[in-house]
Amino acid sequence: MKAMAEKKRNKYFRILEAAARVFAEKGFHKAKISDVARLAGVADGTVYLYFKNKHDLLIKTFEEIMEHVNEMVREICKEDISPEEKIKALINGHYELAKEHPHIVEVITFELRQSYKFMKEYENKKFKEYLRLISLIIKEGQNSEVFPKEINPYIASRAFFGILNETMLQWVVSKEKYSLDEISEVVSRIILKGLTKNQS
Amino acid sequence: MKAMAEKKRNKYFRILEAAARVFAEKGFHKAKISDVARLAGVADGTVYLYFKNKHDLLIKTFEEIMEHVNEMVREICKEDISPEEKIKALINGHYELAKEHPHIVEVITFELRQSYKFMKEYENKKFKEYLRLISLIIKEGQNSEVFPKEINPYIASRAFFGILNETMLQWVVSKEKYSLDEISEVVSRIILKGLTKNQS
Amino acid sequence: MKAMAEKKRNKYFRILEAAARVFAEKGFHKAKISDVARLAGVADGTVYLYFKNKHDLLIKTFEEIMEHVNEMVREICKEDISPEEKIKALINGHYELAKEHPHIVEVITFELRQSYKFMKEYENKKFKEYLRLISLIIKEGQNSEVFPKEINPYIASRAFFGILNETMLQWVVSKEKYSLDEISEVVSRIILKGLTKNQS
Amino acid sequence: MKAMAEKKRNKYFRILEAAARVFAEKGFHKAKISDVARLAGVADGTVYLYFKNKHDLLIKTFEEIMEHVNEMVREICKEDISPEEKIKALINGHYELAKEHPHIVEVITFELRQSYKFMKEYENKKFKEYLRLISLIIKEGQNSEVFPKEINPYIASRAFFGILNETMLQWVVSKEKYSLDEISEVVSRIILKGLTKNQS
DNA sequence: GATGAATGAGCATTCATTCAT
DNA sequence: TATGAATGAATGCTCATTCAT
């Protein structure tokens, strides 16, 4: 019995995994359900046993990936380090994720944007949660007076996402040019000096 | 004769203008050639007299818009002000563009991303030019020793684009929440302090 | 052993009963095997243990219902009353059936028609038997010289079915408008006396 | 110009004509748009230039056919003959139609029934008009006291339709058995005089 | 026998593109 | 040049049927 539940669970995640790859490679509109099914090793119809429709599959794929990211963020939040060190760790965490799962970056980049337009009804809780987690760290820094209070943490969290997403994408699309270390250093420099209060 | 060439030119730009609006509103895949044609006041077939296909129309639309942005950037580059002031002016320039032509933001956001996937053969000169212009200002700052030399200007220009694009999009999608002034202030703060050399 | 055979028999009829309701409600093509299975309280696959396929289920459902109708007709045939009284009783019998089991009318109406098209190979013995029983009464009337001999009993039986089926359907679909009593009276009048007023 | 409008009109009717044949042969659900298109000699997509969807095509087909029938009924209504003669003429008119356009009978039989279930939103004005026309003749007969006043003309019109439709169908499906003349005679006899022999 | 997860054939519909006018 | 009617390829989704358990 347990084995069967396990098997089912496996199939669900196999489809999700396949969807992530296909969406990353082709984008939502060019991705065919049959592509996903073939990559997952199931029949087309089977996808519909686990997901309501293509759109639902997109949302579930996005959420799975964002949950993965949020988990990483939460881990860092819990650590007993300074807000500045958390920001630094977060930045590195993002690039490590990009290195391990490059298609995560593509799905986030492309499909998150879709959500602004085509999934307006879809609340996108996971991305909201992501922004909330980032803004919490910024607030923490503001409370301990290392980050300036004039900065709106929500806008800053969005800026943080924008800078990271774009540079991760840069690396994923053209890996040869810059090393992740180099990118990480530049970005950390900009964000930390940018966020940090003037020592005057 | 001149009038006719003018007329033709007009039709070309009318289609381009219509395409920008339709792509912005619906995204490339959901945009229909017939939507563009109707908005431009021409027949469907006429679009194909000026553009090779839908794909070509997308590229030309993107280039037209990026040229608009690059023009703004170039203007600021030419001004006789410090690199820091140029960066500040650039940021404001971007947000003013977003205020005046919100669909520019959407086209850049959505269709630039398409280009990573579907236009790999397409060189995207305009975006490269944009990044080059930004990086020139950063280099200028590095030369006059107001920006630190350790920062790779190309990576920084990409970060600059990422932060601006994401925050412009945030504003375009949900105008109610934050004013452009507030967003501009936060972003300028992060970028300028981030870029600027330690005064120690 | 008997109990098990009984159980099996029960399951067979439970599926048939469910099929009748689902076919009546949705029509053959829109009816799903899973709908039937759910209503019968069995698994989808179980339906195929008792019926060859959906088509076979339709035929068996139709036959079960026609057998019900034919039983009613036979009962009336056996009664020791005049042919005219039998016709009258038959008409009432039909409307009572419609009142008690409205879905019988729908299955006969819709699925009998399907049979003309899709079951040409299927002989439709039950409907033939129905027509034969009706024509027997007409012949009986012709023999006792209350019905005119010029009338072909087989055509008349078909006319009889047509008039009853259409008016039953009228009542089932829009119950509010006319009472079964009123319909029964008009139809009995037409069948027995015709439209024309008695010249007496 | 006129020629083009004519051509377009032709294409519309060619599709309608093809649809009638395909619906008659296979029924709505088994009929494929590509069947209709092929028979009409157009591309699949062309069907959608003239009809909103398959459902709309069905309704338009049905209405075209019913209009044809209603026209025939109206012609007879206008004639300067007695109600009894009109009823007789109507019956013959129906069978002639069945002889000339057998698929008309099938479309009416099968698709009218669909309309009871699946097109409840669809008002079916043409069929209502048909029933109204028939009931007018019956009322006329009641006013001139050749038909009995106790009969509800609306129920009678429905009965009239039921008897004719069923017998037309009988003939269309198995042409060999009975001649239309024989069917016409029996049906006229029943409708006008009823089954019962004149007691004179 | 009974189950229900898995299968995959089948079809309506859209829309970029063409081409006769 | 300009038109827009016509084309037909392409695909998401459903559901009858099978079969391993």
**Residue D38 to residue D44: CA distance in whole angstroms:** 8
Question: What pLDDT is recorded for position C6?
Answer: 63
Question: What pLDDT is recorded for position D16?
Answer: 96
Read off the pLDDT band of A1 (50, 70, 90): very low
With beta carbons under 8 A apart, name residues in chain D contacting C87.
195
3-state SS, residue A121: coil
Q: Over 80: is that where the pLDDT of D117 sits? A: no
Residues sharing a CB contact under 8 Å with residue A79, sequence separation 6 or more, in sequence order: A86, A89
- What is chain B's mean pLDDT, rounded? 89
CB-nearest partner of C196 from D113, D147, D159: D147
**Residue B89 to residue B108: CA distance in whole angstroms:** 20
Q: Are C87 and D195 in contact (CB under 8 A)?
A: yes
List the structure tokens of A56: 């639902």
Contact A186 B159 (CB under 8 A): yes
Q: Are D190 and C191 in contact (CB under 8 A)?
A: yes
**Count of alpha carbons within 13 angstroms of residue D41, beta-carbon side:** 6
DSSP letter for C151, please: S
Chains in touch with D (≥3 Cβ pairs < 8 A): C
With beta carbons under 8 A apart, name residues in chain D contacting C118.
27, 30
Q: How far is the CA of D33 from the C1' of E11 (A)?
A: 9
- Residue C185, chain D, CB below 8 Å: the answer is yes
**Residue A45 to residue A134: CA distance in whole angstroms:** 40
What is the phi/psi pair of residue D116, to 5°?
-60, -40
Least Cα separation, residue C164 to chain D (angstroms): 8
Question: What pLDDT is recorded for position B165?
Answer: 95
- Report the b/e string of A162-195 with b at 16+ CB within 10 A: bbbbbbbbbbbeeeeebebeebbbbbbbbbbbbb
- Closest by CA position to D91, among listed B161, B193, C155: C155
* Cβ count near B155 (within 10 Å): 25
Calculate the dihedral angle through the C-alpha atoms of C128, C132, C134, C135, rounding to the nearest 10 degrees: 130
Q: Which nucleotide is nearest to D33 (CA to C1')?
A: E12
Angle, vertex CA A47, rays to CA A45 and CA A53, nearest 5: 100
Q: Which residue has the higher pLDDT, C172 or A69?
A: A69
- Closest by CA position to C83, among listed C153, C130, C180, C182: C153
Chains in touch with B (≥3 Cβ pairs < 8 A): A
Read off the pLDDT band of B118 (50, 70, 90): low
- Closest by CA position to D50, among listed C156, D40, A135, A23: D40
CB-nearest partner of A193 from B158, B173, B193: B193
CB-nearest partner of A167 from B159, B185, B191: B159
Read off the pLDDT band of B196 (50, 70, 90): low
Cα–Cα distances (Å) from A115 to A19, A110, A111, B144, in that order, read 16, 9, 6, 43
Can you say whether residue B31 is alpha, beta or left, with left for phi > 0 and alpha for psi between -120 and 50 degrees? beta
Q: Which residue has the higher pLDDT, A42 or B113?
A: A42
- Closest by CA position to D124, among listed D108, D105, D135, D104: D108
Q: Does the CB of B49 fall within 7 Å of any strand F atom?
A: yes
Q: Are C144 and C126 in contact (CB under 8 A)?
A: no
Residues sharing a CB contact under 8 Å with residue A114, sequence separation 6 or more, in sequence order: A28, A58, B27
Mean per-residue pLDDT for A83-88?
Answer: 92
* Cβ count near D199 (within 10 Å): 8
Q: Is the C-alpha dihedral spanning A88, A89, A94, A100 positive or negative? A: positive
Mean per-residue pLDDT for D25-33?
Answer: 92
**Residue A117 to residue B106: CA distance in whole angstroms:** 10
For the whole model, what pTM was predicted? 0.90
- Closest by CA position to A108, among listed A188, A20, A191: A20
Cα–Cα distances (Å) from D29 to A82, A150, D110, in that order, read 68, 66, 11
Can you say whether residue B43 is alpha, beta or left, with left for phi > 0 and alpha for psi between -120 and 50 degrees? beta
pLDDT tens per residue, range B25-47: 988 999 999 999 999 999 999 99
A148: burial class by Cβ within 10 Å (0-12, 13-18, 19+)?
middle
Q: Over 50: is that where the pLDDT of A200 sits? A: no
Q: Which residue of C has its CA nearest to D184?
A: C155
Q: How far is the CA of C45 from the C1' of E4 (A)?
A: 7
Q: Are D170 and C158 in contact (CB under 8 A)?
A: yes
- Residue B110, chain A, CB below 8 Å: the answer is yes
Mean per-residue pLDDT for D57-77?
Answer: 95
Question: What pLDDT is recorded for position C200?
Answer: 45
Q: Are C73 and C130 in contact (CB under 8 A)?
A: yes
Distance of CA A60 to the CA centre of its chain: 13
Question: What pLDDT is recorded for position D177?
Answer: 83
Question: What pLDDT is recorded for position B200?
Answer: 44
Name all contacts of A68-77 with Cβ < 8 Å and 24+ positions apart.
Answer: A68/A97, A68/A101, A68/A104, A69/A94, A69/A97, A69/A104, A69/A108, A69/A130, A70/A126, A70/A129, A70/A130, A70/A133, A72/A97, A73/A130, A73/A133, A73/A134, A74/A133, A77/A133, A77/A136, A77/A137
Tell me the pLDDT of chain C (200 aa) as tens digits: 455 666 667 899 999 999 999 999 998 999 999 999 999 999 999 999 999 999 999 999 999 999 999 999 999 999 999 999 999 999 999 999 999 999 999 999 888 877 776 656 678 899 999 999 999 999 999 998 889 888 999 999 999 999 999 999 999 888 778 999 999 999 999 998 865 655 54
- Residue type for position B40: A
Least Cα separation, residue B41 to chain A (angstroms): 26
Can you say whether residue B179 is alpha, beta or left, with left for phi > 0 and alpha for psi between -120 and 50 degrees? beta
**Residue D178 to residue D172: CA distance in whole angstroms:** 10
Distance of CA B145 to the CA centre of its chain: 28
Q: Are D86 and D146 in contact (CB under 8 A)?
A: no
List the structure tokens of C163: 């008039």
Q: Which residue has the higher pLDDT, D33 or C112?
A: D33
